Amino acid sequence: MEELVKALTIGVTNGLIIALIAIGYTLVYGILELINFAHADVFMLGTAFTYFATELIVHGIGIPASSTLALVVTLLALPIIMLMTATINASIERLAYRPLRNAPRLAPLISAIGMSFVLQNIGLLLLGPSQKAVEPVLPRTDLVFFPSGAAWFGVDEMIVVGVTVPLLLALRWFVASTRQGKAMRATAQDREASGLMGIDVNRTISLTFLIAGGLAGAAGLVVALYYGQKFFQYGLQFGLLSFTAAVMGGIGNLTGATLGGLFVGIVAAMSDRFIEAKWTSVIVFSLLILVLIFRPTGLLAEQQSERA
C-alpha cells in the first residue's frame, strides 16, 4: 500500500510539472489553433536561466549551495525567469507567427517547428552538448514519513507543489474572472467576432503568449531544481509528454491539460514502478492513441459545434 502511495506521489509531482507545460500548449492552441512546437524549448530556456541563476548565486555571489538562503534567493529569481521566458515567447509570436496570421494553417506550423530548432540550438550554444548537474540548491530532506518509517515526501516535492499549484490556480482565476481572461476566452471562441466586439485581438494574443511563456519558465525553474539537471534537449523530452497530455485532455481545454498532465505523470510512474521502465513509453502513447480513437477531441473537450 505504501509503495502505491509513494509511486502515486512521484506521479503527481511529475504530472504537475508536465501539466504546467501542457497548459502552455493548450492556451496557444485555443487562441490561435496553432501547435506551438517551440513552447517546450522555451521551457528548456527556463531551465537554462535557472542553471545560470544558481551558478551566479553559488559561484558568483558565494552563498553555499546547501543553505536555505541559496534556496530562497533562487526562488526569488522565479519572477525574473518567468518574465524572461514570457518575453521570449511573446517575441516569438511577434516574429514568427503574427506575420503568418492569415496564411494557410501549415505555414505557422512549419514556422513553429523552425523556431523550435532555433531555440534548441540557442540552448546548445548556451548550455553545451551534455547533461550537467545543477547546483543542489533544493534540499532533499524528507519531511513526511509513512507509518513504517519509510520516507514519503520531502522539501523538494513540497516546493514543486508549492510553485506549480498556485500558478495553475492563479491561471484558472485569471481566465475565469478577469476582463483580459474573458477577452482571451472570447478570442479563442471566435477571433473575428471578438475583434468586432472591440477586443484588441493582437494584444490578447500577445498576452496569451506572455502567460504561456511565463508558465514555461516556472516549469523550467522547477525542473532544473527538482531533477537537478540541465540539458539542451529537455524540450524534446518534456515537450513530447506535455503535448501528449494536452492532447489527451482535450487541446484547448485548460482543465483538460491539467488533468492530462497528472494522468500522464501518474501512468508513467506506475508503469516504471510496477511494470518495467522499458514499457512506459509504449503504455503512455498507446493510451494516447486509444483516447484519440474513441474521443478524437480529447477526454474533456466539448464536442465542436458545426460551423455554419
Partner 1 sequence: MDKRKIGTLAAVAVLALAACSGGSSGGGSKGEIEVWSSLPRQGSSKGQTDTIVNAINMALAEKNNTAGGYTIKYSDKDDSTAAAGKWDEATEIKNANDAVADDKLVAYIGTFNSGAAKLSIPILCGKGMVMVSPANTYPGLTKAGKGEADEPDKYYPNGCTRNYFRVVAADDLQGLAGAKWAAKLGAKNVYVLDDTELYGKGIADVFNKEAPGQGLTVLGRDGIDGKATDYKALAEKIKATNPDLVYFGGITQNNAGQLWRDLRDAMPNVKLMGPDGILEDAWIQAAGEAAEGTYITFGGLPADKLTGKGADFLKNYNAKYPNNPPQAYTAYGYEAAGTVIAAIEKAAATNPADMSALRAAVLKAVSETKDYEGALGKWSFNQEGDTSLTAMSGNIVKDGKFAFDSVVE
Taking alpha carbons only, the member of 273, 249, 243, 252 closest to residue 263 is 249
Task: Spell out the residues 6+ positions from residue 285 whose beta carbon is closer than 8 angstroms to its own.
Answer: 244
Decide whether 65 or 292 has the Cβ nearer to partner 1. Answer: 65
Q: How far is CA 48 from CA 122, 161, 242, 293, in A?
A: 10, 21, 19, 37
Decide whether 15 or 181 has the Cβ nearer to partner 1. Answer: 15
Separation between Cα atoms, residue 253 and residue 303, nearest integer Å: 12
Residue 65 CB neighbours (<10 A):
16
Separation between Cα atoms, residue 236 and residue 40, nearest integer Å: 7
Decide whether 11 or 108 has the Cβ nearer to partner 1. Answer: 11
- Least Å distance, CB 82 to partner 1, is 21
Decide whether 201 or 236 has the Cβ nearer to partner 1. Answer: 236
Separation between Cα atoms, residue 57 and residue 65, nearest integer Å: 8
Separation between Cα atoms, residue 29 and residue 55, nearest integer Å: 35
Q: Which residue spans within the chain are E strands per DSSP?
A: 132-133, 142-145, 151-154, 229-230
Structure-block grid coordinates of residue 308: 455554419
Separation between Cα atoms, residue 40 and residue 247, nearest integer Å: 15
- Least Å distance, CB 300 to partner 1, is 24
- Least Å distance, CB 99 to partner 1, is 27
Decide whether 210 or 222 has the Cβ nearer to partner 1. Answer: 222
Structure-block grid coordinates of residue 187: 478570442
- Least Å distance, CB 293 to partner 1, is 25
Give the torsion through C-alpha atoms of 267, 16, 218, 216, to 10 deg.
Answer: 50
Decide whether 183 or 248 has the Cβ nearer to partner 1. Answer: 248
Contact residues for partner 1, defined by CB under 8 A: 3, 6-7, 10-11, 14, 120-121, 124, 129-134, 136, 140, 223, 227-229, 233-234, 236-238, 241, 268-274, 276-278, 280-281
- Least Å distance, CB 17 to partner 1, is 9
- Least Å distance, CB 228 to partner 1, is 6
- Least Å distance, CB 87 to partner 1, is 26
Decide whether 109 or 270 has the Cβ nearer to partner 1. Answer: 270
Ramachandran region, residue 230 (left: φ > 0; alpha: ψ -120 to 50; beta: rest)? beta
Task: Spell out the residues 6+ positions from residue 17 whose beta carbon is closer than 8 angstroms to its own.
Answer: 160, 164, 219, 222, 223, 226, 238, 261, 265
Decide whether 85 or 120 has the Cβ nearer to partner 1. Answer: 120
- Least Å distance, CB 229 to partner 1, is 5
